[in-house]
Chain A
């Protein structure tokens, strides 16, 4: 491999790493915001949902849709306006939800298949 080729791979790796680190950082901030703003109260610490709130993760809805819903909800979910939840915090929360791994297949859990 030429030096140029090697340089390109290193730059690409650094970019990917920084993107991943950035996403991880956002997710970490988002996790703190998720708790601080009380999202966990109805949706659970992993956004799994339950009787009081819908499932948010894994596979959250797109940020734009989530933002529109959170700002304007007139249903059971109380709205969060910008004064109490900034756009930046909302984006971080979305990053956190995106970072959550897929749940195990219910069929693979013996206790759910007695």
Chain B
């Protein structure tokens, strides 16, 4: 709700205009004061007019703004500009027209620069991908009702992926004065309620001072680990009304000072170090542990100190794939002490669930670890759990749970482990490292053998797709911004990922439709850093909101999108087939390859033409693996020249 003061001012504005007009009309009549003047002695008629009077009488009158004073939305732009936000991907909407105008005119469309988006979900997805490269959040604007409804899945993905996005929704709250019809359809009592379950914080400022505090607070909360999206409701009246007087000065804007991330309790850190140092076979499992490149460095230090193998579940690029301590998920059973770092699903790491229709259809649970294995957890997400959405996963009992940010806790843990390692353990630790080197080499050989299977198949095998792509970009400073649609995890298994930006993780909430916009957002950040962006883009993901292709072309965002086009929502293909089998029924294919409702064929979508129509260089469909390498070479050149390029490749299902 807006403050009664400015609300009254805004709503009385038209009345004021009418009154002013009446006064002007009245002045043309003969008022009493004028009549009195007529009786006074006449001034000489030959006096020269002043410059001002001459100008007023002879020149075109200066145009006045219809709304006087400084618009509230100009001040909002002042606030936004204090936070160094580079871009604002958004789909335009009348409920934020005032701040839109201020951003592009008063704010000169810089810091932030408005990026035209076709869909609010795309805008949030772009902000999501951008942050994972740049480490800085973006702002997006939307209608607080219909636009926010579009944006919600993207916000949920950001929430689950612990990524800050600042969302502002326009909303005209004053029912007595807001325009009737469409704007009223687009208004609500509490727009933030729609996303409150999966945002860290939200607010509805009712004055400009309040806005300044809310925006800086929102930024601060979003950027304190665990990161997360935040929401601000932006009243249309507050945007449009002129600023109230503040002694001739604008309201104060609070200074942003980052909050230090939370660290694990020192006693718990010491106990964790004792367990790890004394373990026969300690294991580290990392999910979103490395928030920054320094997180990778710290994790390498800890792993080498203990000669502990590291399972990187891929929420971020936590640990170099080229390091001999890098281990596959199957290594979990070998640990007697397991350290979980920012795991989104600790239960799922140490247990298994088989979807086999047993137990009345609910499947079978099993353990993947030995009896007596000690579990340690460092996770900041414990500080920010909500009730409704179940992203906290199944409950797992942990021996040493720490509510704290893993990356911020690692320096203390490393020091504590150094203190805890007894001299007589050092030989055993070294021996453990030798065993890890052997296991790593054997694992790599097995992975290559698996990749060679169906190497020359048509449609193209996912291993071939990924390795042809790697071959085309390996000489560049590459960043694999997205790998959607499940290509049997080949990039993580075979690409020599070492740098933090070599892999950005996945969507978080597994909401399909993340890949295309997140890859464009990440490519935008990489463009500014001079890196080459490449994505494995699945067909189903692209079709949720393909308009983001246009945004990439419009704003000259170079990106190589190599399509994993298996012509299906393939996870669902397998699900429906599985249920058909459990029920002993032949799956109805309806003339397609997969069960009815799961295939994207008949007709096949010509993604290359779709991309071309929106300003991309594109080629396809490529079904013969021998054609893929040459096409990739062409596409890489196009992207290096600054244009996005897409290859539509028909692939094996997984």
Residues of A within 8 A of B (CB): 35-36, 38, 40-42, 44-46, 48-53, 55, 73-76, 78-81, 83-84, 103-107, 109, 111-114
Contacts and interface: CB of A to CB of B under 8 A. Distances in A.
Given A41-B573, A42-B653, A74-B356, 12 more contacts: A38-B573, A38-B594, A41-B574, A44-B454, A45-B457, A46-B453, A49-B453, A103-B453, A103-B454, A104-B452, A106-B449, A106-B451
A104 B577 contact: no
A76 B581 contact: no
A99 to B, nearest CB: 14
A44 B468 contact: no
Contacts of A75: 354, 356
Nearest to B495: A114
Q: Report, nearest first, the 10 A-B pairs whose CB atoms are least far apart.
A: A78-B581, A48-B454, A48-B453, A50-B488, A50-B654, A106-B448, A51-B488, A106-B452, A46-B454, A111-B467
24 contacts: A38-B573, A40-B653, A41-B570, A44-B652, A48-B454, A48-B457, A48-B461, A51-B654, A52-B654, A73-B356, A74-B358, A78-B577, A79-B581, A79-B582, A80-B581, A81-B584, A84-B581, A103-B452, A112-B448, A112-B451, A114-B470, A114-B471, A114-B474, A114-B496
Contact of A49 (B448, B450, B570): B450
Contacts of B586: 83-84
A107 B474 CA distance: 19
B430 interface: no
Contacts of A38: 573, 577, 587, 594-595
Nearest to B456: A104
Of B453, B457, B471, the most chain A CB neighbours within 10 A belong to B453
Given A44-B454, A50-B488, A109-B455, A84 B585 contact: yes
Interface of B: 354-358, 364, 445, 448-457, 459, 461-462, 464, 467-468, 470-471, 474, 486, 488-489, 494, 496, 570, 573-574, 577-578, 580-582, 584-587, 589, 593-595, 652-654
Contacts of A73: 356
A108 to B, nearest CB: 8
A85 B462 CA distance: 28
A85 to B, nearest CB: 9
B355 A76 contact: yes
Given A46-B454, A50-B654, A112 B467 contact: yes
A40 B445 CA distance: 25
A44 B248 CA distance: 72
A109 B452 contact: yes
A78 B454 contact: no
Of A42, A50, A52, A104, the most chain B CB neighbours within 10 A belong to A50
Nearest to B577: A38
Contacts of B461: 44, 48
Nearest to B457: A46
B580 A84 contact: yes
Nearest to A73: B356
A107 to B, nearest CB: 8
A48 B653 contact: no
Nearest to B449: A106
Given A41-B594, A44-B461, A112-B448, A83 B652 contact: no
Contacts of A36: 589
B653 A44 contact: yes
A41 B584 contact: no
A97 to B, nearest CB: 12
B581 A112 contact: no
A98 B77 CA distance: 69
Nearest to B582: A78
A111 B466 CA distance: 10
